[in-house]
Amino acid sequence: MKKLRKRIFLTAGYNTVSIGTGRKEFNPKKQMPGLEHYMKEAGQASIAAVGGAQHIDECVVGNFMSARFNKQAHLGAFMPMIDEGLRYKPAMSVEGACASGGLALLAGVRSVLAETADMVLVIGIEVQNSMKAIYGADVLAGAGWFHKRKEGHAYFFPGQFSNRAGAYFDKYGRDYARKGFARWYQNAIENARLCPTAQEFENKTEDLEKLALIEPNPSAFTDFLNVFDCSKVSDGASSIVVASEEGLKKARIPLSEAVEITGWGQAEEDITKEPDDLTRLSTMAESVKQALQSAGITINDLATIELHDCFTIAGILAMEAIGFAKQGEGARFVAEGHTSRNGKIPVNTTGGLIGWGHPTGATGVHMAVTIWEQLTGKAGKAQIKISHERPYGLSVNMGGDDKSLVALVYRKAE
C-alpha cells in the first residue's frame, strides 16, 4: 500500500554549514559547536519560516550515533530547548545509520498521514568531529553488523565499499571504473563551490581529476579507494517541516513555498548477510522502484536527484540501481558527464555527500532540503533549470552497506 492517502508537503527547509576539514572555521584543537548549537540553528530557522512553534505539532530528530560521538542520547528532549513553544509536544529520535534522516522524514510523513499532526518539524543532526577519524571509524562501523567488525578494515565503511570497488574493477576494468570515480569527484566539488554551506565550498584545487586519480595506498587506507573517493567527516544539521494541506493553510504558507511528496519507497535488507552481488545496490534499486511506482512516474520524469554518494563507487552503482545505466555502464555514464549539472540528469547539485558533506544522521534531511530548494527556485548559484516536462526530484538515502533505504519523489506543489 504505497499510495499516499493524503497530500504531503515539505516546506521551510534549512541547512547549517557542513563543518569539517576544508572549512576555514574548522579547528579541531578548539572547542567546536556541539549538538545543541546545530539543532538550535536549523530548528529555529525552520520554525521562524512557518511563523512560530505554535504551528508545529510534533518533532522528529534523525540522528545516527550521538550516543557515542557526543555521549548524548535522548535527542527528542532537546526540542523544547530549541523553542519553548515545543514544550510538552511530542518529539522523538529515530535511528537507521546514515538513513536516519530519511527515516525521520518518513516518521513525520506518517504522523501527518495518521492525522495526529498537521506540521512536523524534522531535524537531522550529526556532530562527528568530536573524535579523530580513526576512532570515528569504529563508531560508524555500527552501521554494519558488529560480529563482522573484527574482520573488517580499520576504516570499516571505506573498506566495505573498497571491496565493492574491487569487485567492480574485476568485472569491468580498473581504469575504466576509476575514470568514472574521478568524474564523480570533480562534479561533487564543482557543485559544492556553488553552495556556501558546502564543506568543499572553498575547495580551490585546479585539477580535480588528477587529484582524484591518486593511487590508493593500501598500507595506510583501503585497497581500491583513495580519500577523494570518500565523503568527509562532517558536523551539521538540516531541518524541514512536513505538512498537510491544512497545516500549510494554518501557517499561511503558499503552495509555491512547498514541494509535495508524491512517492516513497522504504526497503530493509538483512544486516547479518553479505550482499548477493558486490557490484549491485539491490536494496537501493528496490526502494527507488517502489518510490517511482507509487509516484506513477519513470526516471525520464526526473529533473534532479540527490543520492547517497558516501563513496564514488556508491554513486556509480546508484546510477545503475536507479536505472540510468545498465550494469557495468554506470562508470561510463558518469565519465561522459551525464550526471553533471548540465548533463542528462543533474545529480547532487550542491555537491552531495562528497562535496556538500555527510553529517550522517542529517544527510537524509539535507537531501530533502536541497530538492525543496531546487524545485522552489531557492538554490541560489547552484540553481538548475527545472522544466515542466520533467518536474520531479528524487532523493535516495542509504543506511549501512545497502541495508536501510529511503527513496522519496518530490514535485513542486501546485
* Binding positions for other proteins, rule: CB under 8 A: 132, 134-135, 137-138, 141, 146, 149-150, 153-155, 218-221
Nearer to other proteins, 3 or 146 (CB): 146
Quote the cell numbers at residue 402: 545497502
**Shortest Å distance, C-beta 150 to other proteins:** 5
Give DSSP secondary structure letters for 314-355: HHHHHHHHHTSS-TTTHHHHHHTTTTSTTSSS-B-TT-HHHH
Neighbours of 5 (CB within 10 A): 9
**Shortest Å distance, C-beta 143 to other proteins:** 14
Q: Are 259 and 394 in contact (CB under 8 A)?
A: no
Burial class for 203, CB neighbours closer than 10 Å (0-12, 13-18, 19+)? middle
Nearer to other proteins, 5 or 147 (CB): 147
Nearer to other proteins, 1 or 134 (CB): 134
Among 267, 333, 289, 307, smallest CA distance to 103 is for 267
How far apart, in whole angstroms, are the C-alpha atoms of residue 281 and residue 325? 13
How far apart, in whole angstroms, are the C-alpha atoms of residue 84 and residue 54? 10
Nearer to other proteins, 62 or 159 (CB): 159
Residue 368 is inside which H or E element, if any? helix 363-375
How far apart, in whole angstroms, are the C-alpha atoms of residue 321 and residue 341? 20
**Shortest Å distance, C-beta 223 to other proteins:** 10
Nearer to other proteins, 153 or 232 (CB): 153
Nearer to other proteins, 77 or 154 (CB): 154
Phi, psi of 316 (to 5 degrees): -65, -50
**Shortest Å distance, C-beta 95 to other proteins:** 19
Q: Are 319 and 330 in contact (CB under 8 A)?
A: yes
Give bridge partners of residue 62 from the DSSP assignment. Answer: 94, 124
**Shortest Å distance, C-beta 114 to other proteins:** 40
How distant, in Å, are the alpha carbons of 57, 111, 149 from that of 4?
A: 20, 12, 39
Give bridge partners of residue 394 from the DSSP assignment. Answer: 305, 409
**Shortest Å distance, C-beta 154 to other proteins:** 4
Nearer to other proteins, 256 or 272 (CB): 272
**131-145 burial code (b ≥16 CB/10 A, e <16):** beeeebbebbbbbbb
How far apart, in whole angstroms, are the C-alpha atoms of residue 374 and residue 353? 17
Nearer to other proteins, 152 or 196 (CB): 152
**Shortest Å distance, C-beta 151 to other proteins:** 8
* Sequence-distant (≥ 6) Cβ neighbours of residue 7 within 8 angstroms: 244, 245, 260
**Shortest Å distance, C-beta 126 to other proteins:** 19
**Shortest Å distance, C-beta 295 to other proteins:** 42
Nearer to other proteins, 137 or 409 (CB): 137
Quote the cell numbers at residue 22: 576544508
Residue 313 is inside which H or E element, if any? helix 312-322
**Shortest Å distance, C-beta 152 to other proteins:** 9
**Shortest Å distance, C-beta 145 to other proteins:** 12
Nearer to other proteins, 65 or 322 (CB): 65
Nearer to other proteins, 74 or 149 (CB): 149
